[in-house]
Structure 1
Amino acid sequence: MRLNKHISDTGFCSRREADRLIAEGRVTINGRKPGAGAQVEEGDIVLVDGQRLQVRQAKAGRKHVYIVLNKPVGVTCTTESDVKGNIVEFVGHEQRIFPIGRLDKDSEGLILLTSNGDIVNEILRAENKLEKEYLVAVNHPVTDEFLRGMARGVPVHGQLTLPCKTGKLGKFGFRIVLVQGLNRQIRLMAAHFGHRVKQLVRVRIGSVKLGHLKPGKWRNLTDVELRGLLPHRTEW
């Protein structure tokens, strides 16, 4: 396996980032700095900045991959390989995976990816009313009137958004919990009241929380998290 793919498979970083680390001489294989196009064999010890990497595999007993990624700004939620910065290339997983739903290129935070195409529509189905929680920073002070207006519903794409939960986070920040996912919904809702979103981070989908997962890193979903997303399923 190519060295950059081996590094990305551990969840340490993307293949592109791995190439940069290799070029900077921060990676070793069995104690030696590798050349361009280096390969990793079974049993080789790969270190990045002296830290040993372990490949993350799908949990035993599962047929498919289910992961949560802390998506950085600039990564596009598409499977189209000709799109620069697409999320599939960024993750660089050994299995074919695709995102469940989307986050705007300018947004960051929690997004789910899977190799199981059968569950995507089940999770995204509107009647499931799966909560999605975001932390948002805007360019004008957040007022109680603004929060009430956002919570009541705002005309977006020719329809009124569903009622949602909002809360203040400092002078220029707020928390919002949605059960729908219209294209650029929060940005358009805020713009309706004359606010421009400066930062938008998704921190929760259902019972799956971003927690301390660092930007650009991913992890496998736990069995408890999977059951919370799809309580009626028994096979994974």
Structure 2
Amino acid sequence: MSETGTRINKFLSEQGYCSRRAADKLIEQERVTINGSVPEMGTKVMADDIVAVDGELISKKKEKLVYLAFNKPVGIVCTTDTRVEKNNIIDFINYPTRIFPIGRLDKPSEGLILLTNDGDIVNKILRSRNNHGKEYIVTVDHSINDRFIQRMSTGIPILDTVTKDCEVEAIGRKTFRIVLTQGLNRQIRRMCEFLDYRVTKLKRVRIINIELDVPVGEYRHLTEDELTELKRLTANSDKAYVPSPDDDMD
């Protein structure tokens, strides 16, 4: 920590407690204290300060960084707020040290989600959506055709915008593969609904260079090669990007 201090949201992120975005929410909810007092947004933590969340002291010792690839089952909620959601991802995995998900998959969706205690990599991966894809296998309620593939791949008007061009390929009568470089709220479901289709199954199978290769409900640690490549690919992420509350809820 520098002599001029570290902003409280960055401090919590660097300690592996949560992402900066999640830290901002904790600060807004007045669940964070510095030396026993509730700080304002942007308050800096100095070397001798005592930081706590919900009364729990935050150690200034760096834990070993953890990077997990998890195959999320349907019905599990991607939240770290274990007080609110019974079927939350943190309780389900029950990892021995504190971790948090990078982005989200909505409750009815399944597949790959990354978890970590490295707050710095979270923003880089979320920002990287402008350059790198997330791949999904999607099943809908009736047969797809060439028009459906063309419309899905060239932009659909949802949420007061038009989705970016993306790669879409039919792989079955009712099933297609799609690679997104966006993460709008329930994006794939909304795109399909615009074309009068309903998603019956949605599975994420890749995030940037990380492939889904574990059974449903299980996780593995990223390999050194995967992590090195992931950091390389996200190194130049757009620093101007600010993650929204609805990131990756496809």
TM-score (normalised: structure 1): 0.70
CA–CA separation in structure 2 for the residues paired with 1:193 and 1:168: 15
How far residue 130 of structure 1 moved from its aligned partner, in angstroms, is 2.0
Aligned partner of 1:66 in structure 2 is 67
Q: Give 2:77's aligned amino acid.
A: T
The alpha-carbon distance between structure 1 residues 113 and 152, as it changes in their structure 2 partners (threshold 3 A), is same
Give the unaligned 5+ runs of structure 1. 1-61
CA–CA separation in structure 1 for the residues paired with 2:204 and 2:234: 25
The alpha-carbon distance between structure 1 residues 179 and 127, as it changes in their structure 2 partners (threshold 3 A), is closer
RMSD between superposed Cα atoms in Å: 1.7
How far residue 169 of structure 1 moved from its aligned partner, in angstroms, is 1.4
CA–CA separation in structure 1 for the residues paired with 2:171 and 2:164: 22
Percent of matched pairs sharing the same residue: 49
CA–CA separation in structure 2 for the residues paired with 1:208 and 1:110: 9
CA–CA separation in structure 1 for the residues paired with 2:233 and 2:152: 33
| Contact 1:132 1:202 (8 Å CA) reproduced | yes
CA–CA separation in structure 1 for the residues paired with 2:114 and 2:138: 20
Which structure 2 residues correspond to residues 31-180 of structure 1 after superposition, within 5 A? 63-82=64-83, 83-126=85-128, 128-180=130-182
SS of aligned partner of 1:133 = strand
The alpha-carbon distance between structure 1 residues 68 and 232, as it changes in their structure 2 partners (threshold 3 A), is closer
| Contact 1:206 1:228 (8 Å CA) reproduced | no
Aligned partner of 2:188 in structure 1 is 186
CA–CA separation in structure 2 for the residues paired with 1:80 and 1:72: 18
SS of aligned partner of 2:151 = helix
How far residue 71 of structure 1 moved from its aligned partner, in angstroms, is 0.2
The alpha-carbon distance between structure 1 residues 231 and 194, as it changes in their structure 2 partners (threshold 3 A), is same
Which structure 2 residues correspond to residues 8-19 of structure 1 after superposition, within 5 A? none
| Contact 1:141 1:172 (8 Å CA) reproduced | yes
SS of aligned partner of 2:226 = helix
How far residue 126 of structure 1 moved from its aligned partner, in angstroms, is 4.6
SS of aligned partner of 2:147 = helix
SS of aligned partner of 2:153 = helix
In the alignment, structure 1 residue 217 sits paired with structure 2 residue 218: yes
List structure 1 segments (4+ residues) > 3 angstroms apart after TM superposition: none
Most deviating of 213-222 and 122-131: 122-131
| Contact 2:125 2:234 (8 Å CA) reproduced | no
CA–CA separation in structure 2 for the residues paired with 1:202 and 1:156: 21
Give the unaligned 5+ runs of structure 2. 1-62, 236-250
String of CA shifts for 1:111-167, please: whole Å, max 9, x gaps. Answer: 000011111001110565221000000001011100110000111211111100000
CA–CA separation in structure 1 for the residues paired with 2:224 and 2:122: 17
SS of aligned partner of 1:183 = coil
CA–CA separation in structure 2 for the residues paired with 1:171 and 1:163: 22
| Contact 1:129 1:180 (8 Å CA) reproduced | no
The alpha-carbon distance between structure 1 residues 64 and 227, as it changes in their structure 2 partners (threshold 3 A), is same
Which structure 2 residues correspond to residues 22-37 of structure 1 after superposition, within 5 A? none
Aligned partner of 2:12 in structure 1 is none
Q: Give 2:166's aligned amino acid.
A: C
CA–CA separation in structure 2 for the residues paired with 1:159 and 1:110: 26
TM-score (normalised: structure 2): 0.66
SS of aligned partner of 1:106 = coil
The alpha-carbon distance between structure 1 residues 232 and 172, as it changes in their structure 2 partners (threshold 3 A), is closer
